[in-house]
Structure 1
Amino acid sequence: MSGRMKRWDIWSLITFIIFAGYLVFLALPLFMLLIKSFFDGTTGEFSLAYFHKFFSKAYYMNAVWNSIKVTVSVTLLSILVAGPLAYIMTIARIKGSATVRILILISSMSAPFIGAYAWILLLGRSGVITKFMSTVFGFSMPDIYGFSGILLVLTLQLSPLIFMYVSGALKNVDNSLMEAAESMNCTGLRKMWKILVPLIMPTLLAGGLLVFMRAFADFGTPMLIGEGYRTVPVLIFNEFISEVGGDDGFAAAISVIVVVFAVTVFLLQKYVANRKSYSMSALNPIEPKRLKGIANLAAHAYVYLFTLLALMPQAYVAYTSFLKTSGKIFVDGYSLDSYRAAFSKVGDSIYNTFMMASITIIIITLAAVLIAYVTVKRKGAVANVLDTFTMLPYIVPGSILGIALLVTFNKEPLVLSGTSVILIAAFVIRRLPYTIRSSAAVLHQVNDSIEEAAISLGASTMRTFFRITVPMMISGVFAGAIISWISIITELSTSIILYTGNTRTMTVAVYTEVVRGNYGVAAALSTLLTAITVVSLLLFFKLSGKKEVTM
């Protein structure tokens, strides 16, 4: 009995509270979604009708195959594009490499649908590039709409994630291995394939999984430029919120199928990654060298071209935000009319975004510090289960979590639908993992003896934690919090399901204005989001003393 009481301390209470939060706002909503999918919405009786309807009609199955085609293509293309990019930036001296890394990072931080909107302005049927090529060269540009457009937008948007993952892994590769391979006449592509790729394979798989899940869950891009190329998130949205009467039971059934598929992919990735895992410690890290001749020219061209293409959408959107508009059309001349219209028409969305994001990031920061400590320092079955819970938001698409929360909290005893609370809860659940992972990474390096020394000198457990442990974790906490903050203010897939007129966010406002054709207002709001992202990153670099973010 005394042993049990000894184990039940303040950290046990904290663990219990954290579990309760996850059970209420993640496990229970997903369970309610599962229950809803198996019961007829009219009679209330157990039924497999929703699943039969899904698997029996080619219309719905085509959406699944479309999503798989998009996600697999985007993931493979992102690896093929960003893997060599990270390798070049690691081994070669690229002029302005620090600036290039920051620009690549910035390009990945905007919402994907903003990139889709920008490419419509550039390569749409009346796009700037489309008109230029047709007028000057008489050449008809390929159609940006459909699969090719989705692939272009998501690849440029998500490739930087692979770049950051691989860049971090390459820093841990010992150059002695590369030199030993060269001494055995293993050079060029053969050296990369035989030596380097196996070493960074776990990182490639982890980055690939993140890209896969983000591409699979993206709603805005296929909605804007899909034009009939329907994917699963669009299908779920249309079934849940339909002008002719949405069927939330059928949307729940589709969501369950998607979650099962996503969990299967996640477990497969974990299995392969565990079999391919390596422990690396670079005593002699790879140092960038100045390349010569055509190799140097090709390396610079590749890096600069990718950076230009990745940043082009944001740069053009920022440019159009200063153009004069006549109604919904851009005209010659410059003005701030779009910004005035943005603040007057959708100014509440700017306030809502900052208010909810600020509350969310405070909750995330506190929760992440506590969860990271429990999972790293309080090892055991409970800690392992909690660690698994924190990974679930990686797997569950935002639109599905939004539907699950609405289904659960749309009736007594706890009605949260239509309030900012349900949006904050969704943001916390979805974006908490970023800060947990970065906090835990730093905590792994904190020696237990430091805490033990403080406690032996009379400090309480919590005083030791907040005065000794937390200050040593602060760099990881801050890095994760910045990434969480940026991902919150650019969130669309969950917000589009949960928002009301009083809780509209900037991303929802941008999406709404794009759909309505108010491109000037959309451009102004998008530029404000980009500016906030840049300021957040610069603040991170200033306070952390770092010049890049790696994963």
Structure 2
Amino acid sequence: MKYAEKKPLSIWSVLSFLILAAFSIFVIYPLALVLYKSVVDPFSGALTFDYFSRFFLKKFYWETMVNSLQVTVCATILASLLGLPMAYLMRSVKIRGSSFLNILIVISYLSPPFIGAYAWIQLLGRSGVVTQLVNDLFGIAFDGVYGFAGIMLVFTLQSFPLVYIYVSGALKNMDNSLNEAAESLGCGRFDRIRRIIVPLVMPTLLASALLVFMRVFADFGTPMLIGEGFKTMPVLVYTQFMGEVGGDDGFAAAICVIMIGLTLAMFFAQRILARRSTYAMTALKPMVAEQATGLRNLIAHGIVYFVTGLAILPQLVVVYTSFLRSNGGQVFTGGFALQSYEATLFAKDNDAILNTYLLGALSIALVVVIGVLVAYLSVRKRSAVNSALDTVTMFPFIIPGSVLGISFLFAFNSPPILISGTMLIMIIAFSVRRMPYTVRSSAAALGQISPSIEEAAISLGASETTTFARVTVPMMLPGVCAGAIMSWVTIISELSSSIILYTNANQTLTVSIYTEVIRGNYGNASAYATILTVTSILSLLLFYKVTGRRDISI
């Protein structure tokens, strides 16, 4: 009896196992260690739930969870209520300068939220320009926009552009004949929006709301800067882990587990709701912006200009204050000067800018290479291993940055893998966090390429690897590059994991901005923030150049 020869192990199988092993080490293992530390006593090694008991029995601790959920849910709702009308107005009404306004909205989203918090402190803080003006004019004692109100202001204006981008893309692909049919049947404008447009874009609205929820829930910088006594879970886990008198690793791990549980619950809730409200739609007659007249035209322009102005205001404040002369601290003495740039760009032993660009470039290179390979394996080489790989690469999507940073220090602060304090640990952390977005965008680009093109190349004598390198990858490249540029912007704006993993040798721009604000060096903070903002704008222009588009639709 002849036995069939074993099929030789292909290079794709080897890559699958190697990438899965890498993600097991840098995703599964750190998270498993967080779970282990949260339920095991460090002295006796016995199973314990004391850390969780401490969290839920003391009001000071569980109140941070209530605060986080309160801020996150309210900011998500307000961002949706602001982003949806903005997208509808920009798509249905001809707004003067709409292309420029669209760019401003996207720029306001690309900036880190904590920069918005710092800018609003400059305007509405206790010594803010607007605060002093209001107090002088009306003779009141307004104490500044801190706590819940300040956090909500920053998160709403910072997050609605994400809803706007998503919903705008959905409206662009919507068949407007449904809207016209309802109009011909006597349905009013408001009823058409409520009964046709909103249900059709609901899956997209839920998807964008989930991203807003994840971003707001995980943000550390904004509540730390403007929250004052209003503490959230990212602030609590940071203070517990980085405590001056020695951090409490077990308690910090328990908080991390609770945070992951909450984001998991939100993720699955969104998936269930989206599945129930999914519609198949073909844009035979896309929505076209029409010229409005009278009061409707005035109201539409007023809303769009006002909201866009508020959204971009923090960036304008930061750029303006970066050129003001100061006493080296919080007080601007009047007049313009370049002293803030001299103190940042030309300071000795200041590598924050170089570190940011270097870390971002290396992280993006790793994200693109592995992301394209994972997308190809999961789409073209379907197997149990590749399905597991696709699932594992999505885990970081629901992990807050502070949790990822803490898990990395738990896992890689001692042999056999000792990389804490190095640039490598930050590169891996950035890459792992942004990998899900690149995998999804690469898989979408690959889905638009017919397998018959690859089959034709193989039938002409090209090997499978040659076909992948010389046919598949070049065809995927425009979409991959566009995604990489946007991922680059989010990487250089990362604070939550950076603030935990950085050392003086690998400090980044976001960490420098945060530390300068904490020290009260507002001029230096503005200079750093301006450099980051200009970098984001140049990256956005490069995105437009690569894609040939003048808007971002997801």
**TM-score, with normalisation over the residues of structure 1?**
0.97
Corresponding residue number in structure 2 for 1:153: 154
Q: Deviations over 1:307-360 (max 9, x none)?
A: 100010010110000011113121111111001101206721111111111111
Distance in 2 of aligned mates of 1:302 and 1:140: 30
Aligned twin of 2:172: 171
Q: C-alpha distance in 1, partners of 2:268/2:83? A: 24
Q: Which runs of 5+ in 2 are unaligned?
A: none
> For residue 490 of structure 1, what is the aligned residue in structure 2?
493
- Corresponding letter in the other structure for 1:515: I
- What are the superposed Cα offsets for residues 349-376 of structure 1, whole Å, 9 maximum, x if unpaired? 1111111111111111111111121222
Which residue of structure 1 lines up, in the alignment, with residue 503 of structure 2? 500
Give the structure 2 partner of residue 518 of structure 1.
521
Helix, strand or coil at the partner of 2:156: helix
Residue of structure 2 equivalent to 1:5: 7
Match of 2:334 in 1: 332
Give the distance between the partners of 1:397 and 1:449, measured in 2 at CA: 41
Q: Secondary structure at the match of 2:489?
A: helix
Matched residue count: 550
Deviates more, 1:522-531 or 1:171-180: 171-180
What CA deviation, in whole Å up to 9, does each residue of 1:102-160 have, x standing for no partner?
Answer: 11000001111111000000000100111122223435547310000000001111110
1:502 is paired with a residue of what secondary structure? helix
Segment drifting more, 466-475 vs 432-441: 432-441
Deviation at 1:261, TM superposition (A): 1.4
Partner of 2:272: 271
Q: Which residue of 2 aligns with 1:462?
A: 465
Q: CA deviation at 1:49?
A: 1.0
Structure 2 distance, partners of 1:532, 1:253, is 37
Structure 1 SS opposite 2:413: coil
Contact 1:117–1:224 under 8 Å retained in 2:
yes
Distance in 2 (alpha carbons) for counterparts of 1:542 and 1:172 = 22
Write out per-residue CA displacement over residues 451-480 of structure 1, whole angstroms, 9 at most, x where no aligned residue. Answer: 000010011111111211112111210111
Match of 1:386, SS state, is helix
Map Cα deviations across residues 473-524 of structure 1 (whole Å, 9 max, x no partner): 1121011101110001100000001111111111001100000000011000
Q: Deviations over 1:433-464 (max 9, x none)?
A: 22222222221111110000001001111111
3-state DSSP of counterpart to 2:350: helix
Q: Given the alignment of the two structures, is residue 90 of structure 1 paired with residue 91 of structure 2, yes or no?
A: yes
Aligned AA for 2:439? Answer: I
Inter-partner Cα distance in structure 1 for 2:517 and 2:349: 13
Q: CA offsets, 1:373-428, max 9 Å, x none?
A: 12222234433332222222121100000000100011111101111111001000
Which amino acid is 2:513 matched to?
Answer: V
**Counterpart check, 1:61 vs 2:62:** yes
Cα distance in 2 for partners of 1:425, 1:393 equals 12
**What root-mean-square deviation, in Å, do the aligned CA atoms of Structure 1 and Structure 2 show?**
1.4
Q: Is the 8 A contact 2:126 2:143 kept in 1?
A: no
Specify whether residues 461 and 170 from structure 1 end up closer, same or farther in structure 2 by C-alpha distance, changes over 3 A only.
same
**TM-superposed deviation, 1:3:** 8.6
Q: How does 1:352-371 map to 2 (within 5 A)?
A: 352-371=355-374
Alignment of 1:157-236 (within 5 A): 157-236=158-237
> Contact 1:123–1:141 (CA<8 Å) still a contact in 2?
no
1:437 paired residue number? 440
Q: SS in structure 1 opposite 2:506?
A: coil
Structure 1 equivalent of residue 15 of structure 2: 14
2:453 is the alignment partner of 1:447: no
User: Which amino acid counterpart does residue 32 of structure 1 have in structure 2?
Assistant: L
Contact 1:436 1:480 in 2 (8 A): no
- 1:240 is aligned to 241
Kept in 2: contact 1:107–1:157 (CA 8 A): yes
State whether residues 67 and 232 of structure 1, in contact with CA within 8 Å, keep that contact through their aligned partners in structure 2: yes
Residue 422 in structure 1 maps to residue 428 in structure 2: no
Mapped partners of 2:100, 2:143: distance in 1: 32
Query: CA–CA distance in 2 between the matches of 1:364 and 1:3?
Result: 37
Q: Tell me which residue corresponds to 1:384.
A: 387
Distance in 2 between residues matched to 1:224 and 1:3, nearest whole Å: 65
Q: Shift of residue 162 of structure 1?
A: 0.3
Identical residues among aligned pairs (%): 52
Q: 1:2 to 1:64 in 2, by over 3 A?
A: farther
Q: CA deviation at 1:4?
A: 6.5
Q: Distance in 2 between matches of 1:372 and 1:393?
A: 16
TM-score by length of 2: 0.97
Q: Are 1:258 and 2:256 an aligned pair?
A: no
Match of 1:311 in 2: 312
**Is contact 2:328-2:523 (8 Å) kept?**
no
Instruction: Please give the alpha-carbon distance, in whole angstroms, between the structure 2 residues aligned to 1:41 and 1:490.
Output: 35
Matching residue within 538, 541, 546 for 1:538:
541
C-alpha distance 346-222 of structure 1, shift in aligned 2 (>3 A):
farther
Q: Which amino acid aligns with 1:429?
A: V
Q: Tell which deviates more after alignment, 396-405 or 10-19.
A: 10-19
SS of structure 2 residue aligned to 1:347: coil
Measured in 2, the distance between the counterparts of 1:214 and 1:531 equals 22
Q: Provide the residue aligned with 2:396 in structure 1.
A: 393
Which has the larger displacement, 162-171 or 537-546?
537-546
Distance 2:431 2:378 in 1: 18
Task: Indicate conservation of the 8 Å contact 1:435/1:476, yes or no.
Answer: no
Find the residue that maps to 1:235 and give its secondary structure. helix
Could you tell me which runs of 5 or more consecutive residues in structure 1 were left unpaired when the two chains were aligned: none
SS of 1:5's partner is: coil
Could you tell me which of 406, 410, 413 is aligned with 1:410? Answer: 413
CA distance, structure 2, for counterparts of residue 35 and residue 16 of structure 1: 25
Would you say the 8 A contact 1:28–1:408 is kept in 2?
yes
| 8 A contact 2:119–2:317 mirrored in 1 | yes
The change in CA–CA distance for 1:141 and 1:290 in structure 2 (over 3 A counts) is farther
Distance 1:76 1:3, change over 3 A: farther
Aligned to 1:34: 35
SS in 1 for 2:332: strand
Checking the alignment, whether the CA contact within 8 Å between 1:346 and 1:509 is kept in structure 2 is no
**Aligned-partner Cα distance in 1 for 2:36–2:532:** 38
Corresponding letter in the other structure for 1:326: N
Residue 544 of structure 2 aligns to a residue whose secondary structure is: helix
Between the aligned partners of 2:314 and 2:239, the Cα distance in structure 1 is: 27
Query: Do the aligned partners of 1:357 and 1:488 also contact (CA within 8 Å) in 2?
Result: yes
Paired position in structure 2 for 1:100: 101
